[in-house]
Amino acid sequence: MYFWLSELSDGESLNTHHLSPFMRPLGSEYSNGVNFAIAGSTATPGETTFSLDVQLDQFVFFKERCLESIERGEVAPIDSKGFENALYTMDIGHNDLMGVLHLPYHEILPKLPAIVAEIKKAIKTLHKNDARKFWIHGTGALGCLPQKLATRKDDDGGLDEHGCITKINNVAKKFNELLSETCDDLRLEFTDSIIVFVDMFAIKYDLVANHTKYGIKKPLMTCCGHGGPPYNYDPKISCSVTDDKYMCKLDEKFISWDGVHFTDAANEIVASKVISGEFSIPRIKLTTTVVKPKKTKNSRL
Protein backbone atom coordinates (compact mmCIF):
# COMPACT_ATOMS: atom_id res chain seq x y z
CA MET A 1 0.00 0.00 0.00
CA TYR A 2 1.26 3.45 -0.88
CA PHE A 3 0.27 6.75 0.70
CA TRP A 4 0.86 9.66 -1.67
CA LEU A 5 0.96 13.31 -0.69
CA SER A 6 2.70 14.94 -3.59
CA GLU A 7 2.97 18.15 -5.56
CA LEU A 8 2.41 17.51 -9.25
CA SER A 9 4.20 19.00 -12.20
CA ASP A 10 2.30 20.74 -14.99
CA GLY A 11 3.01 17.77 -17.26
CA GLU A 12 1.99 14.14 -17.04
CA SER A 13 4.69 13.08 -14.57
CA LEU A 14 4.81 13.33 -10.80
CA ASN A 15 7.28 15.98 -9.70
CA THR A 16 8.37 14.13 -6.60
CA HIS A 17 11.02 11.82 -5.20
CA HIS A 18 10.38 8.16 -4.38
CA LEU A 19 8.30 7.51 -1.29
CA SER A 20 10.33 6.60 1.76
CA PRO A 21 9.60 3.09 3.08
CA PHE A 22 7.89 3.02 6.46
CA MET A 23 10.20 0.17 7.54
CA ARG A 24 13.42 2.09 6.86
CA PRO A 25 14.65 3.27 10.28
CA LEU A 26 17.11 5.91 9.12
CA GLY A 27 16.93 8.61 6.48
CA SER A 28 13.20 8.40 5.83
CA GLU A 29 11.54 11.59 4.57
CA TYR A 30 7.75 11.64 4.56
CA SER A 31 6.87 15.06 3.17
CA ASN A 32 5.35 13.51 0.03
CA GLY A 33 3.91 10.33 1.55
CA VAL A 34 4.88 6.90 2.83
CA ASN A 35 5.54 3.54 1.20
CA PHE A 36 4.06 0.71 3.28
CA ALA A 37 4.51 -1.89 0.53
CA ILE A 38 6.77 -4.89 1.11
CA ALA A 39 8.16 -7.10 -1.67
CA GLY A 40 6.33 -10.41 -1.92
CA SER A 41 3.44 -9.36 0.31
CA THR A 42 -0.08 -10.70 -0.13
CA ALA A 43 -3.58 -9.37 0.36
CA THR A 44 -4.46 -12.53 2.27
CA PRO A 45 -3.54 -12.38 5.99
CA GLY A 46 -1.01 -14.90 7.23
CA GLU A 47 0.33 -15.81 3.81
CA THR A 48 3.30 -13.47 4.26
CA THR A 49 4.83 -11.58 7.18
CA PHE A 50 3.78 -8.16 5.94
CA SER A 51 0.41 -8.90 4.36
CA LEU A 52 -2.02 -6.07 3.63
CA ASP A 53 -3.59 -6.13 7.10
CA VAL A 54 -0.16 -5.61 8.67
CA GLN A 55 0.54 -2.70 6.32
CA LEU A 56 -2.78 -1.18 7.40
CA ASP A 57 -1.82 -1.51 11.06
CA GLN A 58 1.44 0.27 10.28
CA PHE A 59 -0.46 3.08 8.55
CA VAL A 60 -2.82 3.54 11.50
CA PHE A 61 0.16 3.64 13.86
CA PHE A 62 1.91 6.21 11.66
CA LYS A 63 -1.19 8.40 11.47
CA GLU A 64 -1.80 8.28 15.22
CA ARG A 65 1.82 9.16 15.88
CA CYS A 66 1.64 12.15 13.55
CA LEU A 67 -1.55 13.51 15.11
CA GLU A 68 -0.31 12.92 18.66
CA SER A 69 2.85 14.87 17.86
CA ILE A 70 0.77 17.79 16.59
CA GLU A 71 -1.39 17.71 19.75
CA ARG A 72 1.77 18.05 21.83
CA GLY A 73 2.74 21.10 19.80
CA GLU A 74 5.44 19.27 17.89
CA VAL A 75 6.00 19.26 14.15
CA ALA A 76 4.84 16.18 12.23
CA PRO A 77 5.37 15.31 8.55
CA ILE A 78 1.63 15.10 7.84
CA ASP A 79 -1.36 16.74 9.54
CA SER A 80 -5.02 15.68 9.59
CA LYS A 81 -5.78 17.62 6.41
CA GLY A 82 -2.89 15.92 4.70
CA PHE A 83 -4.28 12.48 5.50
CA GLU A 84 -7.65 13.51 4.09
CA ASN A 85 -6.20 14.94 0.86
CA ALA A 86 -3.69 12.15 0.21
CA LEU A 87 -4.00 9.52 -2.49
CA TYR A 88 -4.04 5.93 -1.24
CA THR A 89 -2.70 3.48 -3.81
CA MET A 90 -2.87 -0.31 -3.73
CA ASP A 91 -1.12 -2.64 -6.14
CA ILE A 92 -1.57 -6.01 -4.50
CA GLY A 93 -3.02 -9.46 -5.12
CA HIS A 94 -0.47 -10.71 -7.66
CA ASN A 95 1.39 -12.83 -5.12
CA ASP A 96 -1.88 -14.33 -3.92
CA LEU A 97 -2.64 -15.36 -7.49
CA MET A 98 0.86 -16.70 -8.10
CA GLY A 99 0.37 -18.92 -5.06
CA VAL A 100 -2.67 -20.69 -6.53
CA LEU A 101 -1.83 -20.85 -10.23
CA HIS A 102 -0.60 -24.43 -9.86
CA LEU A 103 -4.19 -25.50 -9.27
CA PRO A 104 -6.68 -26.43 -12.00
CA TYR A 105 -8.62 -23.47 -13.36
CA HIS A 106 -11.91 -24.55 -11.79
CA GLU A 107 -10.23 -24.71 -8.36
CA ILE A 108 -8.63 -21.28 -8.68
CA LEU A 109 -11.77 -19.27 -9.41
CA PRO A 110 -13.48 -19.92 -6.03
CA LYS A 111 -10.40 -18.55 -4.26
CA LEU A 112 -10.48 -15.15 -5.97
CA PRO A 113 -13.39 -13.54 -4.05
CA ALA A 114 -11.58 -13.98 -0.73
CA ILE A 115 -8.50 -12.17 -2.07
CA VAL A 116 -10.61 -9.29 -3.39
CA ALA A 117 -12.53 -9.18 -0.08
CA GLU A 118 -9.27 -8.38 1.76
CA ILE A 119 -8.64 -5.42 -0.55
CA LYS A 120 -12.21 -4.23 -0.01
CA LYS A 121 -11.75 -4.52 3.75
CA ALA A 122 -8.55 -2.46 3.49
CA ILE A 123 -10.30 0.31 1.56
CA LYS A 124 -13.05 0.41 4.19
CA THR A 125 -10.48 0.60 6.99
CA LEU A 126 -8.69 3.46 5.26
CA HIS A 127 -11.98 5.28 4.69
CA LYS A 128 -12.72 4.94 8.39
CA ASN A 129 -9.37 6.64 8.95
CA ASP A 130 -10.32 9.65 6.77
CA ALA A 131 -8.92 8.44 3.44
CA ARG A 132 -11.03 9.73 0.55
CA LYS A 133 -8.96 9.17 -2.59
CA PHE A 134 -8.14 5.65 -3.74
CA TRP A 135 -6.16 4.44 -6.74
CA ILE A 136 -6.55 0.66 -7.03
CA HIS A 137 -4.52 -1.38 -9.51
CA GLY A 138 -5.67 -4.65 -11.01
CA THR A 139 -3.16 -7.37 -11.77
CA GLY A 140 -1.15 -7.64 -14.97
CA ALA A 141 -0.89 -10.25 -17.72
CA LEU A 142 0.63 -12.96 -15.53
CA GLY A 143 0.38 -15.50 -18.35
CA CYS A 144 2.96 -13.49 -20.32
CA LEU A 145 5.67 -13.64 -17.65
CA PRO A 146 8.77 -15.54 -18.87
CA GLN A 147 8.89 -17.32 -15.51
CA LYS A 148 5.47 -18.87 -16.10
CA LEU A 149 6.14 -19.60 -19.76
CA ALA A 150 9.47 -21.30 -19.10
CA THR A 151 8.01 -23.52 -16.38
CA ARG A 152 4.68 -24.22 -18.08
CA LYS A 153 3.03 -27.50 -17.17
CA ASP A 154 0.69 -29.62 -19.29
CA ASP A 155 -2.36 -28.63 -17.23
CA ASP A 156 -1.59 -24.93 -17.79
CA GLY A 157 -3.16 -25.31 -21.20
CA GLY A 158 -2.30 -23.65 -24.48
CA LEU A 159 -0.87 -20.35 -25.59
CA ASP A 160 -2.74 -17.46 -27.16
CA GLU A 161 -1.85 -15.69 -30.40
CA HIS A 162 0.88 -13.67 -28.68
CA GLY A 163 2.47 -16.62 -26.92
CA CYS A 164 0.97 -16.10 -23.45
CA ILE A 165 -0.66 -18.79 -21.31
CA THR A 166 -4.41 -18.43 -21.80
CA LYS A 167 -5.45 -20.09 -18.53
CA ILE A 168 -3.29 -17.85 -16.36
CA ASN A 169 -4.35 -14.69 -18.17
CA ASN A 170 -7.99 -15.71 -17.78
CA VAL A 171 -7.42 -15.98 -14.03
CA ALA A 172 -5.89 -12.49 -14.00
CA LYS A 173 -8.81 -11.06 -15.99
CA LYS A 174 -11.35 -12.68 -13.67
CA PHE A 175 -9.57 -11.26 -10.63
CA ASN A 176 -9.62 -7.82 -12.21
CA GLU A 177 -13.30 -8.16 -13.03
CA LEU A 178 -14.11 -8.91 -9.39
CA LEU A 179 -11.89 -6.09 -8.14
CA SER A 180 -13.40 -3.59 -10.57
CA GLU A 181 -16.92 -4.60 -9.48
CA THR A 182 -15.86 -4.15 -5.86
CA CYS A 183 -14.64 -0.64 -6.63
CA ASP A 184 -18.01 0.06 -8.31
CA ASP A 185 -19.83 -1.06 -5.17
CA LEU A 186 -17.61 1.00 -2.88
CA ARG A 187 -18.10 4.04 -5.09
CA LEU A 188 -21.84 3.79 -4.46
CA GLU A 189 -21.29 3.26 -0.74
CA PHE A 190 -18.72 6.02 -0.23
CA THR A 191 -20.15 8.90 -2.22
CA ASP A 192 -17.71 11.29 -0.53
CA SER A 193 -14.73 9.50 -2.07
CA ILE A 194 -12.87 9.05 -5.34
CA ILE A 195 -12.26 5.36 -6.02
CA VAL A 196 -10.41 4.60 -9.25
CA PHE A 197 -9.72 1.14 -10.65
CA VAL A 198 -6.83 0.84 -13.12
CA ASP A 199 -6.82 -2.00 -15.68
CA MET A 200 -3.19 -3.06 -15.40
CA PHE A 201 -3.87 -6.17 -17.48
CA ALA A 202 -4.80 -4.11 -20.53
CA ILE A 203 -1.73 -1.91 -20.08
CA LYS A 204 0.76 -4.74 -19.68
CA TYR A 205 -0.77 -7.07 -22.25
CA ASP A 206 -0.58 -4.25 -24.79
CA LEU A 207 3.19 -4.19 -24.30
CA VAL A 208 3.35 -7.79 -25.49
CA ALA A 209 0.66 -7.67 -28.19
CA ASN A 210 2.01 -4.45 -29.73
CA HIS A 211 5.65 -4.72 -28.68
CA THR A 212 7.07 -3.42 -31.95
CA LYS A 213 5.25 -0.13 -31.39
CA TYR A 214 7.39 0.35 -28.29
CA GLY A 215 10.66 -0.74 -29.89
CA ILE A 216 10.65 -4.12 -28.15
CA LYS A 217 11.87 -7.06 -30.25
CA LYS A 218 11.59 -9.95 -27.77
CA PRO A 219 8.54 -9.36 -25.53
CA LEU A 220 8.62 -12.77 -23.80
CA MET A 221 12.34 -12.97 -23.00
CA THR A 222 14.08 -11.80 -19.85
CA CYS A 223 16.88 -9.27 -19.96
CA CYS A 224 18.69 -10.72 -16.96
CA GLY A 225 18.44 -14.46 -17.37
CA HIS A 226 19.97 -17.71 -18.53
CA GLY A 227 19.16 -20.27 -21.19
CA GLY A 228 18.64 -18.18 -24.29
CA PRO A 229 15.51 -18.11 -26.50
CA PRO A 230 12.62 -18.32 -26.30
CA TYR A 231 12.39 -17.08 -22.70
CA ASN A 232 15.94 -16.84 -21.38
CA TYR A 233 14.76 -18.02 -17.98
CA ASP A 234 16.13 -20.81 -15.80
CA PRO A 235 14.43 -21.33 -12.40
CA LYS A 236 17.68 -22.78 -11.03
CA ILE A 237 19.74 -19.66 -11.79
CA SER A 238 18.42 -16.38 -10.46
CA CYS A 239 19.18 -13.01 -11.98
CA SER A 240 21.21 -11.95 -8.93
CA VAL A 241 23.86 -14.58 -9.60
CA THR A 242 23.83 -14.36 -13.39
CA ASP A 243 27.09 -13.40 -15.04
CA ASP A 244 27.19 -10.07 -16.91
CA LYS A 245 27.51 -11.93 -20.19
CA TYR A 246 23.91 -13.08 -19.81
CA MET A 247 22.57 -9.53 -19.46
CA CYS A 248 20.78 -7.93 -22.37
CA LYS A 249 22.57 -5.12 -24.18
CA LEU A 250 22.03 -1.57 -22.96
CA ASP A 251 20.51 -0.47 -26.27
CA GLU A 252 17.95 -3.30 -26.27
CA LYS A 253 14.43 -2.88 -24.88
CA PHE A 254 12.95 -5.73 -22.88
CA ILE A 255 9.70 -5.98 -20.94
CA SER A 256 10.89 -8.47 -18.33
CA TRP A 257 13.96 -7.93 -16.21
CA ASP A 258 14.23 -11.28 -14.42
CA GLY A 259 11.21 -13.27 -15.55
CA VAL A 260 8.81 -11.66 -13.09
CA HIS A 261 9.65 -7.99 -12.62
CA PHE A 262 9.60 -5.37 -15.36
CA THR A 263 12.58 -3.45 -16.69
CA ASP A 264 12.84 0.31 -16.12
CA ALA A 265 12.03 0.84 -19.80
CA ALA A 266 8.81 -1.16 -19.53
CA ASN A 267 7.85 0.44 -16.21
CA GLU A 268 8.26 3.87 -17.76
CA ILE A 269 5.72 2.98 -20.45
CA VAL A 270 3.35 1.44 -17.91
CA ALA A 271 3.61 4.46 -15.60
CA SER A 272 2.78 6.90 -18.40
CA LYS A 273 -0.35 4.93 -19.24
CA VAL A 274 -1.40 4.69 -15.59
CA ILE A 275 -0.99 8.43 -15.11
CA SER A 276 -2.93 9.22 -18.31
CA GLY A 277 -6.21 7.88 -16.96
CA GLU A 278 -6.92 6.13 -20.26
CA PHE A 279 -7.17 2.76 -18.51
CA SER A 280 -8.94 4.00 -15.40
CA ILE A 281 -12.54 3.53 -14.24
CA PRO A 282 -13.76 6.22 -14.04
CA ARG A 283 -11.43 7.98 -16.49
CA ILE A 284 -9.47 10.25 -14.18
CA LYS A 285 -5.87 11.33 -14.62
CA LEU A 286 -3.64 10.53 -11.68
CA THR A 287 -2.43 14.12 -11.71
CA THR A 288 -5.90 15.40 -10.80
CA THR A 289 -6.18 13.37 -7.60
CA VAL A 290 -3.11 14.56 -5.70
CA VAL A 291 -2.79 17.98 -4.12
CA LYS A 292 0.20 20.11 -3.22
CA PRO A 293 1.50 19.10 0.22
CA LYS A 294 1.77 21.46 3.13
CA LYS A 295 5.43 22.26 3.79
CA THR A 296 6.72 21.35 7.24
CA LYS A 297 9.98 22.12 8.99
CA ASN A 298 10.47 18.49 9.92
CA SER A 299 9.18 15.75 7.66
CA ARG A 300 10.63 12.90 9.70
CA LEU A 301 9.35 11.07 12.75
For the chain, the average pLDDT equals 86
Task: Give per-residue pLDDT as tens, 167-201.
Answer: 999 999 999 999 999 999 999 999 999 999 999 99
Entry pTM: 0.88
CB 14 within 8 A of CB 275: yes
Per-domain residue ranges of the chain: 2-204+264-288
Band (pLDDT 50/70/90 cuts) for residue 68 is very high
Question: Phi/psi zone of residue 84: left (φ > 0), alpha (ψ -120 to 50 degrees), beta?
Answer: alpha
pLDDT at 290 over 70: no
Residue 229's SS3 state is coil
pLDDT at 292 over 70: no
Task: Give per-residue pLDDT as tens, 264-277.
Answer: 999 999 999 999 99
Q: What is the mean pLDDT of residues 245-250?
A: 76
Task: Give per-residue pLDDT as tens, 90-147.
Answer: 999 999 999 999 999 999 999 999 999 999 999 999 999 999 999 999 999 999 999 9
Angstrom distance (rounded) from CA 242 to CA 226: 7
